[in-house]
């Protein structure tokens, strides 16, 4: 079953070798534009290879682990065999839940009740078979060597969620998308999700990347979510990365925000050995809003990277960005945020902030908040701080009878709670708070390598 895993030196090699073998079995085979898209993406990946620290966008995050182990795309049969995964990831309360195991849809673990008219929740494989015409032009494509993983995803995408809301359609409860790594040895899976909201539509999507506790070996998950918001649409988009301690995770949300649309995103990273969550948002019309929030909590030798890019290509759009990190053990946190203001994008208002706490002597943080401004009538700010937990705060709490551990826990919860508070006050916030608490509970074990 796992004969393929040791045949190749690196993940890149494994994928180069697997394409010819797996491509015929990938969904949408025979659709001309899709075949071309996959082939072009594969060629670009072949030319560029895996991203490396020599590329400015990857300066702080090396992917040596992908060269050390050969993560191979998991064939469908293998994925099905491993599908006895637990399914309690994701928010308890949801309108629908789609579970994917090793990048393939799992009917048994999913729940798809009939939803109101105008709301379609499907899978990539099904949508490509049933409504291929609707899918054309929905996939984003990478540009440049820094996007090699994006290309890899395009070449190998096997499944994913398709969420479509017609104009005016509204959904209160979140749609939960859960992506599990079953534990197939050094498996690689590439899911591609499409979230499309018509004019004035409203929805919440929560993606959760998890690994059952019994997972046998590291997995590499490389996800892309393409989001297209119509005029005045509102999307709350949460991504929780809660993978096992040896997982490698790279994810990218590619977001198009039309006139007056509102994109709110929260990226939380509490698991994996190495994780990089990218958000790439472009305003395709004026008066849009992007609120990008996130938190990363790491310990041991975790490497957690959040990279965002917001392209203000139209006037009067607003970006609000806040990312906070808590780093213990030998964890390494990275935040890179680029706000680009195109010529003529007047009235742009962009604020960006990153704050990191270093809790141990060997934790480290890299931060690069970047502004690229080509218009004059703009208001842009960014700020970044890195420090230890506030000693006065600790003293205050301990003077009131809390143990140091309790005081630290409270201060960390408050520090991260601030980002969650600014993002949401409802069920989504409660879910995120619970995830952070779960990270803190794990801490009680006291392993701090």
Partner 1 sequence: MSTPETIDEVRALTEADYKFGFVTELDQEIIPKGLNEDVVRLISAKKNEPAWMLDWRLESYAKWLGMQGEDPTWAKISHPPIDFQDIRYYAAPKSEDDGPKSLDEIDPEILATYEKLGIPLKEQEVLSGVAVDAVFDSVSVATTYKAKLAELGVIFCPFSEAVAEHPELVRKYLGAVVPQGDNFYACLNSAVFSDGSFVFIPEGVRCPMELSTYFRINAAETGQFERTLIIAAPGSYVSYLEGCTAPMRDKNQLHAAVVELIALEDAEIKYSTIQNWYPGDAEGVGGIYNFVTKRGACRGRNAKISWTQVETGAAITWKYPSVLLEAEGAVGEFYSVAVTNNYQQADTGTKMIHLAPNTTSTIISKGISAGRSQNTYRGLVRINPKAHNARNYTQCDSLLIGEECGGHTVPYIQVRNRSARVEHEASASKISDDQMFYCQSRGLGAEDAVSLIVNGFCKEVMKQLPMEFAVEAQKLLGISLEGSVG
User: Of these, 39, 301, 382, 430, which contacts partner 1 (CB under 8 A)?
Assistant: 382
Residue 359 interacts with partner 1 (CB under 8 A)?
yes
CB of 279 or CB of 348, closer to partner 1? 348
User: Of these, 23, 134, 373, 398, which contacts partner 1 (CB under 8 A)?
Assistant: 373
3-state DSSP assignment of residue 277 = strand
Among 175, 166, 160, CA closest to 197:
166
Q: Decide: 139 and 226 in contact? Cβ < 8 Å.
A: yes
> Shortest approach of partner 1 to residue 257 CB, angstroms?
21
Q: Decide: 324 and 293 in contact? Cβ < 8 Å.
A: no
Of 288-347, binders to partner 1 (CB under 8 A) are 343-344, 346
> Shortest approach of partner 1 to residue 58 CB, angstroms?
14
CB of 276 or CB of 340, closer to partner 1? 340
Q: Decide: 195 and 263 in contact? Cβ < 8 Å.
A: no
CB of 173 or CB of 362, closer to partner 1? 362
Residues near 400 by beta carbon (within 8 Å), at least 6 away in sequence: none
Residues near 395 by beta carbon (within 8 Å), at least 6 away in sequence: none
- Whole-angstrom CA distances from 85 to 80, 96, 103 are 11, 18, 13
Q: Decide: 195 and 223 in contact? Cβ < 8 Å.
A: no
- Whole-angstrom CA distances from 247 to 86, 242, 336, 353 are 17, 10, 22, 28
Residue 418 interacts with partner 1 (CB under 8 A)?
no
> Shortest approach of partner 1 to residue 326 CB, angstroms?
11
User: Of these, 268, 269, 365, 407, which contacts partner 1 (CB under 8 A)?
Assistant: 365
User: Of these, 6, 381, 396, 405, which contacts partner 1 (CB under 8 A)?
Assistant: 381
Tell me the site size for partner 1, rule CB under 8 A.
36
Residue 363 interacts with partner 1 (CB under 8 A)?
yes
| β-strands 175-180, 318-327 pairing | unpaired
CB of 31 or CB of 342, closer to partner 1? 342
CB of 40 or CB of 349, closer to partner 1? 349
Residue 356 interacts with partner 1 (CB under 8 A)?
yes
User: Of these, 388, 406, 441, 449, which contacts partner 1 (CB under 8 A)?
Assistant: 388
> Shortest approach of partner 1 to residue 446 CB, angstroms?
18
Task: Give CA–CA dist 304/194, Å, rounded.
Answer: 25
Residue 55 interacts with partner 1 (CB under 8 A)?
no
Q: If phi over 0 gives left and psi between -120 and 50 gives alpha, with beta otherwise, what is residue 90?
A: left
User: Of these, 9, 141, 374, 405, which contacts partner 1 (CB under 8 A)?
Assistant: 374
User: What 8-state DSSP symbol labels residue 147?
Assistant: G
User: Of these, 84, 172, 372, 404, which contacts partner 1 (CB under 8 A)?
Assistant: 372
Residue 371 interacts with partner 1 (CB under 8 A)?
yes
Residue 377 interacts with partner 1 (CB under 8 A)?
yes
Residue 413 interacts with partner 1 (CB under 8 A)?
no
Residues near 90 by beta carbon (within 8 Å), at least 6 away in sequence: 97, 176, 177, 178, 206, 208, 240
CB of 136 or CB of 372, closer to partner 1? 372
Residue 444 interacts with partner 1 (CB under 8 A)?
no
Residue 385 interacts with partner 1 (CB under 8 A)?
yes
Task: Give CA–CA dist 278/12, Å, rounded.
Answer: 20
Residue 217 interacts with partner 1 (CB under 8 A)?
no
User: Of these, 13, 320, 366, 418, which contacts partner 1 (CB under 8 A)?
Assistant: 366
> Shortest approach of partner 1 to residue 62 CB, angstroms?
14
Residue by residue, DSSP assigns 412-449 as: HHHHHHHHHHHH-SSHHHHHHHHHHHHHHHHHTT----
Q: Decide: 13 and 70 in contact? Cβ < 8 Å.
A: yes
Task: Give CA–CA dist 173/42, Å, rounded.
Answer: 37
> Shortest approach of partner 1 to residue 56 CB, angstroms?
7
Residue 47 interacts with partner 1 (CB under 8 A)?
no
Q: Decide: 317 and 289 in contact? Cβ < 8 Å.
A: yes
Q: Decide: 281 and 290 in contact? Cβ < 8 Å.
A: yes
Residue 52 interacts with partner 1 (CB under 8 A)?
no
Contact positions toward partner 1, by CB under 8 A?
A: 56, 343-344, 346, 356, 358-388
């Amino acid at each position: 079953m796992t004969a393929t895993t040791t045949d190749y030196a690196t993940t890149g090699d494994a994928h180069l070798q697997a394409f010819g073998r797996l491509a015929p079995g990938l969904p949408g085979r025979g659709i001309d534009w899709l075949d071309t898209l996959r082939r072009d993406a594969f060629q670009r990946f072949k030319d560029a290879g895996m991203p490396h620290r020599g590329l400015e966008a990857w300066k702080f995050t090396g992917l040596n682990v992908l060269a050390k182990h050969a993560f191979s795309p998991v064939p469908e049969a293998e994925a099905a065999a491993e599908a006895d995964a637990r399914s309690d990831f994701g928010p308890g309360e949801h309108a629908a839940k789609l579970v994917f195991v090793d990048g393939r849809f799992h009917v048994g673990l999913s729940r798809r009740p009939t939803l109101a008219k105008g709301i379609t929740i499907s899978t990539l494989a099904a949508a490509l078979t049933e409504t291929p015409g609707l899918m054309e032009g929905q996939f984003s494509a990478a540009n440049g060597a820094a996007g090699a993983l994006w290309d890899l995803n395009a070449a190998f995408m096997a499944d994913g969620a398709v969420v479509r809301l017609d104009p005016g359609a509204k959904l209160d409860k979140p749609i939960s998308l859960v992506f599990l790594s079953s534990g197939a040895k050094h498996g690689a899976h590439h899911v591609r999700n499409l979230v499309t909201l018509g004019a004035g539509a409203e929805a919440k999507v929560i993606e959760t990347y998890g690994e059952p506790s019994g997972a046998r070996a590291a997995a590499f998950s490389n996800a892309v979510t393409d989001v297209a918001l119509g005029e005045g649409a509102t999307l709350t988009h949460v991504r929780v990365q809660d993978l096992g301690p040896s997982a490698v995770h790279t994810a990218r949300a590619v977001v198009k925000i039309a006139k007056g649309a509102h994109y709110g995103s929260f990226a939380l990273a509490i698991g994996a050995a190495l994780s990089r969550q990218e958000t790439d948002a472009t305003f395709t019309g004026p008066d849009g809003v992007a609120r990008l929030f996130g938190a990363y909590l790491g310990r041991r030798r975790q490497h957690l990277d959040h990279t965002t890019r917001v392209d203000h290509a139209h006037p009067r759009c607003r970006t609000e960005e806040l990312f906070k990190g808590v780093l213990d053990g030998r964890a390494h946190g990275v935040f890179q945020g680029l706000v680009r203001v195109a010529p003529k994008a007047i009235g742009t208002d962009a604020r960006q902030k990153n704050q990191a706490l270093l809790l141990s002597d060997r934790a480290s943080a890299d931060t690069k908040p970047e502004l690229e401004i080509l218009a004059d009538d703009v208001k842009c700010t960014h700020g970044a701080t890195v420090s230890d937990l506030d000693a006065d705060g600790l003293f205050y709490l301990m003077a009131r009878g809390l143990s140091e551990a309790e005081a630290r826990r409270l201060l960390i919860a408050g520090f991260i709670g601030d980002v969650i508070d600014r993002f949401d006050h409802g069920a989504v916030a409660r879910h995120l708070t619970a995830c952070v608490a779960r990270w803190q509970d794990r801490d009680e074990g006291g392993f701090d390598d």
